[in-house]
Protein backbone atom coordinates (compact mmCIF):
# COMPACT_ATOMS: atom_id res chain seq x y z
CA UNK A 1 0.00 0.00 0.00
CA UNK A 2 1.55 3.30 -1.03
CA UNK A 3 0.92 6.53 0.75
CA UNK A 4 0.22 9.73 -1.08
CA UNK A 5 2.57 12.57 -0.34
CA UNK A 6 0.90 15.85 0.52
CA UNK A 7 2.54 19.17 1.25
CA UNK A 8 1.21 20.70 4.43
CA UNK A 9 -1.19 23.61 4.20
CA UNK A 10 1.58 25.77 5.68
CA UNK A 11 3.99 24.75 2.91
CA UNK A 12 1.38 25.33 0.19
CA UNK A 13 0.40 28.73 1.65
CA UNK A 14 4.04 29.83 1.88
CA UNK A 15 4.74 28.84 -1.73
CA UNK A 16 1.52 30.53 -2.88
CA UNK A 17 2.58 33.74 -1.08
CA UNK A 18 5.82 33.74 -3.07
CA UNK A 19 3.85 33.54 -6.34
CA UNK A 20 2.44 37.00 -5.65
CA UNK A 21 5.88 38.57 -5.96
CA UNK A 22 7.02 37.05 -9.27
CA UNK A 23 5.56 36.85 -12.77
CA UNK A 24 7.92 34.04 -13.70
CA UNK A 25 7.41 31.22 -11.22
CA UNK A 26 10.86 29.80 -12.01
CA UNK A 27 12.18 32.56 -9.74
CA UNK A 28 10.35 30.90 -6.84
CA UNK A 29 11.87 27.42 -7.18
CA UNK A 30 14.65 27.91 -4.63
CA UNK A 31 12.30 29.55 -2.11
CA UNK A 32 9.79 26.72 -2.54
CA UNK A 33 12.52 24.13 -1.96
CA UNK A 34 13.72 26.03 1.12
CA UNK A 35 10.16 26.16 2.49
CA UNK A 36 9.83 22.37 2.21
CA UNK A 37 13.32 21.75 3.59
CA UNK A 38 12.73 24.04 6.55
CA UNK A 39 9.59 22.11 7.47
CA UNK A 40 10.91 18.56 6.79
CA UNK A 41 14.69 18.84 7.04
CA UNK A 42 15.11 17.69 3.43
CA UNK A 43 13.28 17.65 0.08
CA UNK A 44 11.84 14.26 -0.93
CA UNK A 45 11.16 13.36 -4.58
CA UNK A 46 7.43 13.53 -4.01
CA UNK A 47 7.75 17.14 -2.80
CA UNK A 48 9.42 18.02 -6.11
CA UNK A 49 6.32 16.78 -7.93
CA UNK A 50 3.99 18.77 -5.66
CA UNK A 51 6.04 21.96 -5.99
CA UNK A 52 5.99 21.52 -9.77
CA UNK A 53 2.18 21.34 -9.71
CA UNK A 54 1.87 24.50 -7.63
CA UNK A 55 4.30 26.46 -9.81
CA UNK A 56 3.10 24.93 -13.09
CA UNK A 57 6.68 24.02 -13.96
CA UNK A 58 7.98 20.59 -14.94
CA UNK A 59 9.29 18.33 -12.18
CA UNK A 60 12.57 17.99 -14.07
CA UNK A 61 13.09 21.76 -13.89
CA UNK A 62 12.50 21.71 -10.14
CA UNK A 63 14.77 18.68 -9.79
CA UNK A 64 17.58 20.36 -11.75
CA UNK A 65 17.57 23.29 -9.33
CA UNK A 66 17.29 21.02 -6.28
CA UNK A 67 20.28 18.94 -7.32
CA UNK A 68 22.41 21.91 -8.39
CA UNK A 69 22.54 23.55 -4.97
CA UNK A 70 24.40 21.64 -2.26
CA UNK A 71 22.40 23.37 0.47
CA UNK A 72 19.22 21.67 -0.70
CA UNK A 73 19.25 18.23 0.88
CA UNK A 74 17.77 15.47 -1.25
CA UNK A 75 17.92 12.84 1.46
CA UNK A 76 17.40 12.93 5.22
CA UNK A 77 20.25 14.56 7.13
CA UNK A 78 21.40 14.50 10.73
CA UNK A 79 20.64 17.09 13.42
CA UNK A 80 24.08 18.60 12.82
CA UNK A 81 25.47 19.17 9.34
CA UNK A 82 29.27 19.12 9.16
CA UNK A 83 30.71 20.79 6.08
CA UNK A 84 34.41 20.35 5.61
CA UNK A 85 36.32 22.49 3.17
CA UNK A 86 38.16 20.46 0.55
CA UNK A 87 39.57 23.42 -1.38
CA UNK A 88 43.16 23.54 -2.60
CA UNK A 89 44.18 25.76 0.32
CA UNK A 90 42.65 23.43 2.92
CA UNK A 91 44.28 20.53 1.08
CA UNK A 92 47.67 22.22 1.41
CA UNK A 93 46.94 22.92 5.09
CA UNK A 94 46.07 19.30 5.83
CA UNK A 95 42.30 18.98 5.62
CA UNK A 96 42.75 15.26 4.88
CA UNK A 97 43.74 14.67 8.52
CA UNK A 98 40.58 16.44 9.69
CA UNK A 99 38.43 14.54 7.20
CA UNK A 100 39.94 11.24 8.35
CA UNK A 101 39.28 12.12 12.01
CA UNK A 102 35.68 13.01 11.18
CA UNK A 103 35.12 9.82 9.19
CA UNK A 104 36.80 7.57 11.77
CA UNK A 105 35.26 9.17 14.85
CA UNK A 106 31.77 9.23 13.37
CA UNK A 107 32.11 5.95 11.40
CA UNK A 108 30.74 7.54 8.24
CA UNK A 109 32.05 8.68 4.86
CA UNK A 110 31.28 11.90 2.99
CA UNK A 111 27.58 12.24 2.25
CA UNK A 112 26.59 9.82 5.02
CA UNK A 113 24.64 10.34 8.24
CA UNK A 114 25.49 8.65 11.51
CA UNK A 115 23.15 5.86 12.62
CA UNK A 116 21.93 7.97 15.54
CA UNK A 117 21.10 10.83 13.09
CA UNK A 118 23.40 13.14 15.04
CA UNK A 119 25.73 14.15 12.18
CA UNK A 120 25.84 14.34 8.40
CA UNK A 121 29.22 14.85 6.73
CA UNK A 122 29.35 16.90 3.54
CA UNK A 123 32.29 18.30 1.54
CA UNK A 124 32.14 21.85 0.19
CA UNK A 125 34.47 23.46 -2.31
CA UNK A 126 35.27 26.47 -0.10
CA UNK A 127 34.06 28.01 3.15
CA UNK A 128 35.74 31.35 2.45
CA UNK A 129 38.11 31.05 5.38
CA UNK A 130 41.31 30.09 3.56
CA UNK A 131 43.67 32.13 5.74
CA UNK A 132 42.63 30.06 8.75
CA UNK A 133 42.44 26.58 7.24
CA UNK A 134 41.72 23.77 7.72
CA UNK A 135 38.16 24.81 8.32
CA UNK A 136 34.85 23.09 8.96
CA UNK A 137 31.36 24.38 9.54
CA UNK A 138 28.88 22.66 11.86
CA UNK A 139 25.39 23.97 11.21
CA UNK A 140 25.99 27.76 11.13
CA UNK A 141 29.19 27.76 13.22
CA UNK A 142 32.61 28.08 11.53
CA UNK A 143 35.72 26.48 13.07
CA UNK A 144 39.26 27.23 11.91
CA UNK A 145 42.85 26.11 12.32
CA UNK A 146 41.65 22.68 13.39
CA UNK A 147 43.83 19.88 14.60
CA UNK A 148 42.73 16.23 14.87
CA UNK A 149 42.47 16.64 18.66
CA UNK A 150 40.47 19.86 18.55
CA UNK A 151 38.14 18.30 16.00
CA UNK A 152 37.23 15.40 18.30
CA UNK A 153 36.64 17.80 21.21
CA UNK A 154 34.47 19.93 18.94
CA UNK A 155 32.31 16.95 17.93
CA UNK A 156 31.70 16.09 21.56
CA UNK A 157 30.19 19.52 22.14
CA UNK A 158 27.37 18.80 19.62
CA UNK A 159 24.64 16.57 20.97
83 vs 33: CA distance, rounded Å: 20
Cα-Cα-Cα-Cα dihedral sign, residues 87, 89, 91, 95: negative
Cβ burial, residue 82 (10 Å; 0-12/13-18/19+): buried
- Strands of the sheet containing 80-85, edge to edge, are 119-124, 80-85, 136-138, 141-143
CA-wise closest residue to 67 among 41, 35, 84, 43: 43
37 vs 13: CA distance, rounded Å: 15
Q: Find out whether 46 and 74 touch, Cβ atoms under 8 Å.
A: no
Known binding residue 125? Answer is no
Annotated binding-site members for [2Fe-2S] cluster = 85, 90, 126, 130
Annotated binding-site members = 85, 90, 126, 130
Amino acid sequence: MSTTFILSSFEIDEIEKQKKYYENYRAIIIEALKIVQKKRGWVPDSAIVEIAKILNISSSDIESVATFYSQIYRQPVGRNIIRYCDSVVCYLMGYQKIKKVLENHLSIKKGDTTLDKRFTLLPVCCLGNCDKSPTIMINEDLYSKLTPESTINLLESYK
